Amino acid sequence: MSQQRQGSTPGEADGVPAFPDLPEATIARLPEYLRALHHLAETGAETVSSEGLAAAAGVNSAKLRKDLSHLGSYGTRGVGYDVALLIDQIEYILGLDKNRAVCLVGVGNLGHALAGYAGFASRGFRVVALFDADPKKVGERINGLAVQHIDDLDRVAAEEGIAIGVIATPPGSAQAVADVLVAAGVTSILNFAPGVLSVPPNVDVRKVDLAIELQILSFHEHRKASLTALPGGRSAEGGNQEAVGS
């Protein structure tokens, strides 16, 4: 099974993708593996063991092997995984070979930062359009990109083939923006505004709430303080270093 090292992009010949039914937990870890692999590739490594890659990604090696086994065996027993091959494989699975177009709505405090965030471009995403509802912001150039009015979103999204939208507006506007995005054909939304978005079932929403992350940390602070106040205060074995993704 491992012999079929098809040099071409690890896809399928014809129209049958036979898309692997990956567990969500695995999907959430693939980007982390990918980052670690890129780092390894830069250092010149050609192969990695599951142990090595697991350490670089901050996970258990058994978990890593099981994750990778889900997307087809691309390792060699006794040797490890081919770094370049695995990168191609994961990037294909994640659909990063498409250089996906992303639009961002809401050029406020956070939106500004996101528009200039280098981490997007370096990992296969192009921010191709910025929108805002405030006429005073329309025309402003950020990182070489002009802010457009949200009324133009529908047209621009069609022109550029945008399928992913990022919402960085105040909470009150988020649902309205989501509706506009959905109407424009966007099927994946990354939402930075607090609150729950209501969208059709075929649209995926991921939410990042910065305050929630702090609140979770606050809980652990509270817990640790309670424990150390107690006589039997163990030094907090609780799971630290947990990634945030699902």
Residues 13-52 that bind DNA (CB under 7 A): 23-26, 48-51
Rounded to whole angstroms, the Cα distance separating 142 from 198 reads 30
Q: Which of 16, 42, 77, 232 touches DNA (CB under 7 A)?
A: 77
Stretch that binds DNA, among 66-74, 106-114, 147-155, 165-173 (CB under 7 A): 66-74
Strands (E), 12-88: 47-48, 75-76, 80-82
Joined together, the tokens standing for residue 25 give 């937990």
Strands (E), 32-140: 47-48, 75-76, 80-82, 100-105, 125-132
78 is a site residue for DNA (CB under 7 A)? yes
From the list DNA, its own copies, none, pick the one residue 13 interacts with, judged by a Cβ distance below 5 to 8 Å according to partner type: none
Stretch that binds its own copies, among 62-70, 118-126, 131-139, 149-157 (CB under 8 A): 118-126
198 is a site residue for DNA (CB under 7 A)? no
Nearer Cβ to its own copies (13/230) = 230
C-alpha distance from residue 43 to each of 36, 37, 40, 161 (Å): 11, 10, 5, 36
Q: Which of 76, 153, 194, 232 touches its own copies (CB under 8 A)?
A: 194
Q: Half-sphere exposure (CA, 13 Å, Cβ side) for 153?
A: 28
141 torsion bin: left (phi>0), alpha (psi -120 to 50), beta (else): beta
Nearer Cβ to DNA (28/121) = 28
From the list its own copies, DNA, none, pick the one residue 173 interacts with, judged by a Cβ distance below 5 to 8 Å according to partner type: none
233 is a site residue for its own copies (CB under 8 A)? no
User: Facing residues of 131 across strands?
Assistant: 105, 148
List of residues contacting DNA (CB under 7 A): 2-3, 23-26, 48-51, 59-63, 65-66, 68-69, 73-81
